[in-house]
Each structure stands twice: as structure tokens, then as C-alpha cells.
Amino acid sequence: MFDWPQIQTTAQMRATESAAMASGAVSGVQLMQRAGMAVAGQIRLRWPKPGRATVLCGPGNNGGDGYVIARHLHRAGWAVRVLGLDNTPGPDADAMKRDWRALGPIRPLTPQQMSAECDLVVDALFGTGLTRAPDGDIARILGWLQGHPSLPVVAVDCPSGLCMDSGRPLHAAAPRCQLTVAFDSLKPGHLLAQGPRLCGRLVIEDIGIAPWRDASTLHRATLHPGLNKVLGKQPDSHKYGSGHALIVAGGRGKGGAAQLAAQAALRIGAGLVTICPPDAALPEHAGAPWALMRQSIDDAADLSQTLADPRISAICLGPGCGVDRAAQLLPPLLASGRACVLDADALTALSEHPRALHANCVLTPHMGEFARLFPDLAQALNTPAKTGPALSKLHITRQAAARCGATVLLKGADTVMAAPDGQAAIHSAFDTPFLATAGAGDVLSGLIAGLLARGQTPVAAAALAATLHSAAARHIGPGLIADDIPQAIPRILRDLNV
Ligand SMILES: NC(=O)C1=CN([C@@H]2O[C@H](COP(=O)(O)OP(=O)(O)OC[C@H]3O[C@@H](n4cnc5c(N)ncnc54)[C@H](O)[C@@H]3O)[C@@H](O)[C@H]2O)[C@@H](O)CC1
Ligand SMILES: [K+]
């Protein structure tokens, strides 16, 4: 799609690691050495003065990384206490355990050992191998950490107890970490559900296995998009070259939502935008913005006639539209095969009267609307997560897209978009809670419509729109109202050198 950070599930991560090792280019011990050294480097960068560290080493390779970290911190002058299990882990972790033993003892991994004073805890208990809730002494240690929230915790790959495929904790006391150092790529759990809150600051360290990722199966994050490459217009571009978006508006007194969508579509650079209320509501749309065109659409026949113009490249149906009007306009809209965004009342209409969708449709439900369209999937996500990999928002969005044959953008602080062919992106924006405000969703729909009009693929339009939407919100800050968002878009585009 774009040059955006890649996301690998835990299964994909294991496959990448195996492929790298099978190639002979790198061994498991070397990977563990790189991983551990990377974490120790991040700790030394952020805590330059050596202090007292407690390193918690679990039963597997995450624990193996912990022994490497302990060794590097010890060499850097830290007073290191290692707590570990009396087990024999895999051969790589076992080798790292032996190396540590030459430098210091391994104390039992029990909550009693946590009472010694320390400045920093390194959580190398469980990583991508977590399959069930930690219990016994490890669970008690997690509880102890929860009771000491001012003690900084650095997570190795992920906070232990968090399912990396879903961002759902398998244990109620998964630690809230100050820093998480993850390897090679983001995992869905870093971005979804509780993941961002528990991970704290997230750093991805390259351990040299990127060439062995299977590109055909990857998801994308939209954290640092190369938007400028995508959104820039050519100096000689023509207004029709940037498409024509049609925004369907509701009846009298209901036009505000469509106005927000229309302004967003204009700001994101659709060549032309027309707002289409019923005739009786047309006078309400007189006045600024003067760049916006107006045309009444009363019924399905009007819409069919309008869509006979091949230059209309995208339609937004739903915001403030009214469920009956949306239900009436859906058949000609879907029959046209034209790129479209279906939001709000159009989603309610669809849940009441299901219709065949197509690959140029983008559905933008929030969780409530999603639950009405795909009740079984929403219910499955609501079931408590007990084993890993736990079902995630990524899974259910991909299943919904495959089932309905359209792109689905499932809104939230963690927004997931998925296309019917399995392409998916995650946009995680837990830092803009003030975006949950009236009309913000209408603006998002308008951004998607504008980007569709400009020829973006549905999943790319959805991912770009989600990114711009939260970037604009971040720029505006608390106190934001939806009307501010389209106005902030030029500033965001300028900052991106578009
Ligand atoms: N994938 C890679 O490319 C690399 C992975 N490395 C590390 O290896 C980690 C994954 O290692 P592992 O697969 O050994 O898994 P973990 O170290 O995450 O877990 C260890 C083992 O504990 C068992 N387990 C799972 N849940 C449990 C529970 N609740 N209670 C008790 N035991 C439980 C599982 O059998 C699992 O294999 C990564 O997170 C990362 O830290 C790094 O060493 C370097 C490279
Ligand atoms: K960990």
C-alpha cells in the first residue's frame, strides 16, 4: 500500500524468524543477542545514570532476552538482580542463562524477591509466546507491580500478560509499562484495545530479519504515513482530474452533518464537491462555503439520473440523511458501482434491509453500528479473552469485510480498516479522546469521500482519512468541535509538505 510501518501477528513473526534462521544468515542466539542488546541500549539511553535493575526472566525466549539485558546492564555499571525460573528453556535462552550465571546469581521468581529496593524493573516474563493467563508466583509478581505504579517497568517485546495479537490482557494485572521495546515490527496488540495504554512509549528495534517477512500477508499501521507522496497534486492538475464527490444531505434542519462531510471532501482536495439535499431543504444550504455546489436530489430516480454523469467519482451517503431516505437511495447508488462511503443512517438502513455491496464501498461503523450489521462478530469480541491468540478488532473487521465484500472501517481510538481481499491497516490514536464528539464521524466520511473521488483505493482512502482526521484533532487539541477539523486540514497538509 504505502511506505507505512508493518504489523506482524505473532504467527507471522515466528514465520519470519524461522525463515531468517533457515536461510543461514542468522542464528537464534544471534537474534536473542541483538534483541537483548537493543533493549539494554534503550534503557541506557533513557536512564543514563546506572542504577539498580530487577530483571524478571520468564520460561521461554522472552526470558532469554532478559538474561542478555541483565548482562549488558551489569557491564554498564548497573546493580542487576535477576529473578528466573529453575527450568530448562530452549537452547538459545539456556545459553544466555548460562552466560548470565557466570556474572551473577539467579534468584527465585517469587513476589518475596520483589521487596528489594530497585530503580527499574525489566519485564522479560512473556512475549509473543503467551497463550494463557499467567498464574502462581508470576501472577502474584504482576499483581505486586500493579501495586507499585511509580516503579518504572520496561517491557521486552510487550507487557507480560498482554495478548500481542489482540491487545487484550489475558491477566488483569498485565503491567502498565513506561517503555516497551519490541522487535522487528509492530504487533497488532501494540496498537489495539488495552495495548497502547499498557505499552507506554513504544520503540521498534530492527534485529535484521525484515527481509524474511512474507510481504503477501502483512498488515500496515498508519503511524507515520508517507502522506505527501500520496496526496500531492501535479502542478497542472485539472479540477475533474481530482474527481467529483457528491454528498447526500438530509431533509430540513438536518443538513449540518452533510455540510461537515462536504467541507472535509473539499479540504482534502476533491476537484468538485456537490451537496445534495432534498429540494425542500435546498435553501438551507445557501451561503458559504462558496466552493461547494448544490443540487437537489429528492428520490431514487433523481439519484440515478445524477449518477449518469460519469465524472461523479464518489458519493457519501448517511450523515444526517435519515434512515428512510438512505434506504430509498441505496439501491440506485449500489447499482451504479460507484465508489461510495456508507455511514450513519445508511448503515442503519443496511442493517434493517441488507443489500449486496461491492468492492468500491467503504462502510464506516462505530462499534454499535457494527454490532447491528455483524452481531455475531461483535459478540465474539465481547467475550472475555482467556487464551492467546485472542480474537481482536483486526480479526473481526477483516471477517466483516470478507463477508460483505466491501471495505470496513471500524471506528474507535483504535481504528481498523480492512478490505475484502484481506488487506488491512490499523490506526491507533489514543491521544485524541476529544475527537469523540458530535460530527467528527461526518468529517471522517467526507475525508474518505474526497479521497475516493481523487482515485484512492477504498482501503487506502479509509486509512489516509483516519490518519489525517486524528492528525488534525491533535493539532486543534481539547475543545475541538467537528467544524474545526476540515479547517485544520490545510495546516496538516502543509506540515506534511503536500
Ligand atoms: N520472534 C523473533 O524473531 C524473536 C523473538 N525473541 C523473543 O522471543 C519471544 C517469544 O519467545 P517464546 O516463543 O519462547 O515465548 P515466550 O517467551 O513469550 O513464552 C515462553 C513460553 O511460555 C509458555 N507459556 C505461555 N503462556 C504461559 C503462561 N501463562 N504461563 C506459563 N507458561 C506460559 C509457552 O509455552 C511459551 O512458549 C519474543 O517475544 C521475543 O522476546 C527474541 O529473542 C529474538 C527474536
Ligand atoms: K515481556
Mean residue pLDDT across the chain = 95
Give dist(CA 252, CA 190) in Å, integer: 45
Q: Where are the domains of the chain?
A: 6-221, 229-495
Question: Which residues does 151 contact at the CB level (< 8 Å), separation at least 6?
Answer: 118, 120, 121, 145
Residue 201 has pLDDT above 70, yes or no: yes
What is the CA(174)–ligand 2 centre distance, in A? 10
Residue 224's pLDDT is 45
Residue 226's pLDDT is 53
What is the CA(145)–ligand 1 centre distance, in A? 20
Report residue 150's pLDDT band, with 50, 70 and 90 as the boundaries: very high
Residue 436 has pLDDT above 50, yes or no: yes
Homologous superfamily, domain 229-495: Ribokinase (3.40.1190.20)
Crossing angle (nearest 10°) for helices 61-75 and 91-101: 30
Residue 367 has pLDDT above 70, yes or no: yes
Helix, strand, coil percent content, the chain, rounded in steps of 5 = 45, 15, 40
Residue 172's pLDDT is 84
- Ligand 1 probe mutation, 26, 126, 185, 190, most atoms within 8 A of CB: 126
123 is in an annotated binding site: yes
Residue 223's pLDDT is 53
Give dist(CA 358, CA 360) in Å, integer: 6
**Pairing outcome for strands 219-221 and 424-428:** parallel
CA distances (Å), origin 492, targets 193, 200, 214, 228, 235: 27, 25, 33, 10, 20
What is the CA(196)–ligand 2 centre distance, in A? 14
Average pLDDT of span 132-146: 96
455 is in an annotated binding site: no
CA-nearest residue, atom 34 of ligand 1: 129
64 is in an annotated binding site: yes
- Give the residues across from 202 on adjacent strands: 180
Residue 225's pLDDT is 45
- Tell me the fold of 6-221: Rossmann fold (3.40.50)
Residue 33 has pLDDT above 90, yes or no: yes
CA-nearest residue, atom 11 of ligand 1: 61
257 is in an annotated binding site: yes
491 is in an annotated binding site: no
CA-nearest residue, atom 19 of ligand 1: 129
Residue 235's pLDDT is 65
412 is in an annotated binding site: yes
What is the CA(20)–ligand 1 centre distance, in A? 17
Residue 233's pLDDT is 67
% of residues, the chain, pLDDT over 70: 96
Looking at the CA of 122, name the nearest ligand.
2
CA distances (Å), origin 309, targets 197, 244, 305, 313, 453: 48, 10, 8, 9, 14
Query: Helix, strand, or coil here: 95?
Result: helix
Q: How far is CA 51 from the centre of its chain?
A: 35
Residue 279's pLDDT is 98
Residue-wise pLDDT for 318-354, tens only, equals 999 999 999 999 999 999 999 999 999 999 999 999 9
Global pTM value: 0.91
Residue 495's pLDDT is 86
- Ligand 1 probe mutation, 23, 30, 61, 170, most atoms within 8 A of CB: 61
CA-nearest residue, atom 39 of ligand 1: 127
Q: Which atom of ligand 1 is closest in space to residue 89's alpha carbon?
A: 14
% of residues, the chain, pLDDT over 90: 91
Q: Which atom of ligand 1 is closest in space to residue 133's alpha carbon?
A: 29
- Concatenating the DSSP letter of every residue in 245-270 gives EEEE--STT--HHHHHHHHHHHHTT-
Question: Which residues does 180 contact at the CB level (< 8 Å), separation at least 6?
Answer: 154, 155, 157, 158, 159, 190, 199, 200, 201, 202, 203
With 0-12 / 13-18 / 19 or more C-beta atoms within 10 angstroms meaning exposed / middle / buried, residue 364 is buried
Residue-wise pLDDT for 445-469, tens only, equals 999 999 999 999 999 999 999 999 9
Residue 61 has pLDDT above 90, yes or no: yes
411 is in an annotated binding site: yes
Residue-wise pLDDT for 276-295, tens only, equals 999 999 999 999 999 999 99
Residue 311's pLDDT is 96
Q: Which atom of ligand 1 is closest in space to residue 171's alpha carbon?
A: 29
**Pairing outcome for strands 361-363 and 293-294:** unpaired
Query: Helix, strand, or coil here: 391?
Result: coil
Average pLDDT of span 423-452: 96
Q: The C-alpha cell of 200 is what?
A: 507506554
Q: Are 157 and 10 contacting, i.e. CB atoms less than 8 angstroms apart?
A: no
What is the CA(381)–ligand 2 centre distance, in A? 24
Q: The C-alpha cell of 101 is what?
A: 550465571
Report residue 5's pLDDT band, with 50, 70 and 90 as the boundaries: confident
Question: Which residues does 75 contact at the CB level (< 8 Å), separation at least 6?
Answer: none
Q: Which of 85-94, 209-218, 243-252, 372-381 has the lowest mean pLDDT?
A: 209-218
What is the CA(57)–ligand 2 centre distance, in A? 9
Q: The C-alpha cell of 370 is what?
A: 457494527
ipTM computed for the complex: 0.98
Average pLDDT of span 147-165: 97
Q: Which atom of ligand 1 is closest in space to residue 160's alpha carbon?
A: 18
Residue 236 has pLDDT above 80, yes or no: no
Report residue 218's pLDDT band, with 50, 70 and 90 as the boundaries: confident
> What residues are in contact with ligand 1 under a 6 Å CB criterion?
13-14, 17, 31-32, 35, 58-65, 126-134, 156-157, 183, 207, 209
What is the CA(61)–ligand 2 centre distance, in A? 10
What is the CA(160)–ligand 1 centre distance, in A? 10
Q: Which of 48-62, 101-115, 387-401, 484-498 has the lowest mean pLDDT?
A: 484-498
Q: What is the DSSP letter of 470?
A: H
Report residue 1's pLDDT band, with 50, 70 and 90 as the boundaries: very low
Kindly report whether the peptide bond that precedes residue 384 is cis, defined as omega within 30 degrees of 0.
no
246 is in an annotated binding site: no
